[in-house]
Amino acid sequence: MLVHPVVVPGSGTRSWTVLGDDDVPVVAVDRFLAYLTDIGRSPNTVKAYSHDLKDYWQFLGFRGLDWREARLEDVGEFVVWLQLPPSGRAGEVAVLPSVVAEVTASTVNRKLAAVGAFYAHQARNGAGVGDLLAAWRTGGRGGWKPFLHHVSKGEPYRGRAIALKVPQKLPRVLTAAEMQAILDACTRLRDRFFFAVLHETGCRAGEVLGLRHADIAAAECEISVVPRENANGARAKSGGRTVPVGPELIRLYADYLHEEYGGIGSDMVFVNIWAEPKGHAWSYQAAYDLVLRLRARTGIAFDPHWFRHSAATRWLRDGVSIEVVSKLLGHSSVTTTSAIYGHLTAEDARAALEKAGWFTGKEVSW
């Protein structure tokens, strides 16, 4: 089986499909992925779902199952199968219990979410997929009952019944020295400005790559993130927002325009200047190639998303309220922000307590 890119006729939108062993799209999966594209889901999300469903279809084929007849026990076996090495999945060798899982727990849970979303979509469209996988429920939150919803005795079960426990990981952040080293390793103003925007705004890389000149209000020292379709595939994952920035960043933007951008006739901020096709929007791949070069120069194995984590952590440590941080990041709710960035260390907690006067002027003595 194969995941293959496609272009939606008429709109030219890029999407993905899953080809069977006969090189023909798997109809049920193809329609689901087309639906995701039609409702505006990110191309990266559609691509990830296509890979997840390809794995599920390979599992069904290996077990000789039809997707309409799969049951809870089969989904459980799918979880086990995902964690096997390729030779083990194909049944070529026996796998010892001590073998390290092929994929992480978070990856397994993401694939389960894709399978669950697929079955929910099929149930909404009248497919007989069995009430153990998806069943319609009117009212309340969500539109379908997950696995084993019927055993909750009147209390709707709102999560997946099958999910692996994922170890909590703290967001990776960059120190001020590491950020400076990355910026100083940039030999071009465009590249330096790109990382400076990531550092200052906490935006995602795709949001920065999708910036237009009209999004930068120099006089007001503001950068707006605007959801839109871009030629380079860059897009805002969440809704639009405006982020205040400092005058130094605006000056760097002006230097970039004056010294490197010149007379390029494009409304995109980040474009190809030295590579072909010149003047075209800078792509994800070009930006990531730069990251790889900077990793080699600095010895810092960073990822562009670390700048977002670093900005959020810096704001919170500097006393910015979590409500404001949530808006700056474009999160849908403060709960999302708390879940990701509620990771203050013991040193952070001590600093906050000292600032509040907790260790001085006690009303009681020991």
CB atoms < 10 A from the CB of 242, how many? 16
301 CB neighbour count, 10 Å cutoff: 9
To the query of whether residue 305 is one of the catalytic residues in this protein, the response is: yes
Beta-ladder partners of 222: 217, 244
Q: How many residues are listed for the chain in this entry?
A: 366
Active site residue 119: no
Q: What is the end-to-end Cα distance of the chain in Å, rounded?
A: 70
* Helix (H) or strand (E) run with residue 135 in it: strand 135-136
93 is written with which tokens? 């060798």
Q: Is 204 a catalytic residue?
A: yes
> Which H/E stretch holds residue 89?
helix 86-89
**Alpha-carbon gap, residue 320 to 314, rounded angstroms:** 9
Q: Is residue 137 a contact partner of residue 156, using CB atoms and an 8 Å limit? A: yes
**Is 158 part of the annotated catalytic residue set?**
no
Active site residue 288: no
Contact 288, 162 (CB under 8 A): no
Of the residues 47, 237, 297, 343, only one is catalytic, namely 237
- State how far the Cα of 351 lies from the Cα of 345, in Å rounded to an integer: 10
Annotated active-site residue 110? The verdict is no
- Among residues 204, 235, 241, 309, which one is catalytic? 204
Cβ-Cβ contacts under 8 Å for 236 (sequence gap 6 or more): 204, 206, 207, 210, 225, 226, 227, 228, 330
DSSP bridge pairs for 224: 242
Q: CA 282, CA 338: separation in Å to the nearest integer?
A: 33
- Rounded to whole angstroms, how far apart are CA atoms 20 and 160? 28
Q: Catalytic residue among 54, 190, 199, 331, which?
A: 331
Residue 245 in contact with residue 221, Cβ under 8 Å? yes
Q: Is the peptide bond before 304 cis (omega within 30 degrees of 0)?
A: no
Catalytic residues: 204, 237, 305, 308, 331, 341
